[in-house]
C-alpha cells in the first residue's frame, strides 16, 4: 500500500512501488488532467507540483511521492475560482490543441510562486522543458507576464 496526498486529500493505493506517479494519478485516483506525453520526462505534459516544485510524474515512482504534497491541475482552482495563472491563460487565449497546457500551467505556477516578477530569462529557464507542438510559446510568455502583474 502507498499513501499519497493529492490536492489536499489522502489516497491509499494498492499498487506496485515502481508504478509511475502519472499512472497512479490517472488510473488509480482518476485525475486525468495530468497528461502522458513522452514517458521519458522530456516534454512536460505530465508536470505536477511536488511540495511546490514542478516534477515530471511519468518518470517518478509513486512511492517516491509518499509524505509529500502533490498538486495536480485539478487542485489549482478553488471553489470554481481560477488562479491568476489560469485566468491569464484564458485571457491570452493560450491553448490551441490544449494537450500540453496542464503541464505548462503547473510549471508557470511553480515559477510565479518562486519568482513573483520573472524576467524573460526566468520564464525561459522555467518553461524550457515544456514542449508545445502547436507553438503557442508567445502566448504562454504573455500569460505568465500577465499573471505576474495580477
Query: pLDDT, tens digit, for every residue of 65-92?
Result: 999 999 999 999 999 999 999 999 999 9
Cα 89 from chain centre: 14
18, 79, 114 from 15: Cα distances, Å? 8, 31, 33
Please name the helix (run of DSSP H) or strand (run of DSSP E) that holds residue 13, with its range, or none: strand 9-13
Give the CA count within 13 Å in the CB-facing half-sphere of 24: 31
Q: What whole-number distance in Å separates Cα of residue 145 and Cα of residue 150?
A: 9
β-strand pairing of 47-50 with 69-71 = antiparallel
Q: What pLDDT is recorded for position 105?
A: 98
Q: What pLDDT is recorded for position 93?
A: 97
All domains of the chain in start order, with CATH? 2-75 (3.10.20.30), 84-149 (1.10.150.120)
**Sequence-separated contacts (24+) of 7-11 with Cβ below 8 Å:** 7/31, 7/70, 7/71, 7/72, 7/74, 7/75, 8/69, 8/75
Which 3 state secondary structure label does DSSP give 49? strand
What does the pLDDT average to over 29-44?
Answer: 96
Amino acid at each position: 500500500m502507498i499513501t499519497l496526498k493529492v490536492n489536499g486529500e489522502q489516497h491509499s493505493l494498492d499498487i506496485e512501488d515502481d508504478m509511475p506517479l502519472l499512472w497512479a494519478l490517472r488510473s488509480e485516483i482518476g485525475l486525468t488532467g495530468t497528461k502522458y506525453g513522452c514517458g521519458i520526462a522530456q516534454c512536460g505534459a505530465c508536470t505536477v507540483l511536488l511540495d511546490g516544485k514542478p516534477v515530471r510524474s511519468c518518470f517518478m515512482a509513486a512511492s517516491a511521492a509518499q509524505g509529500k504534497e502533490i498538486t495536480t491541475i485539478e487542485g489549482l482552482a478553488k471553489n470554481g475560482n481560477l488562479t491568476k495563472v489560469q485566468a491569464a491563460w484564458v485571457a491570452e487565449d493560450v491553448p490551441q490543441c490544449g494537450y500540453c497546457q496542464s503541464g505548462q500551467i503547473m510549471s508557470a505556477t511553480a515559477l510565479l510562486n518562486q519568482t513573483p516578477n520573472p524576467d524573460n530569462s526566468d520564464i525561459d529557464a522555467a518553461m524550457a522543458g515544456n514542449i508545445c507542438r502547436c507553438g503557442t510559446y508567445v502566448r504562454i510568455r504573455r500569460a505568465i507576464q500577465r499573471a505576474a502583474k495580477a
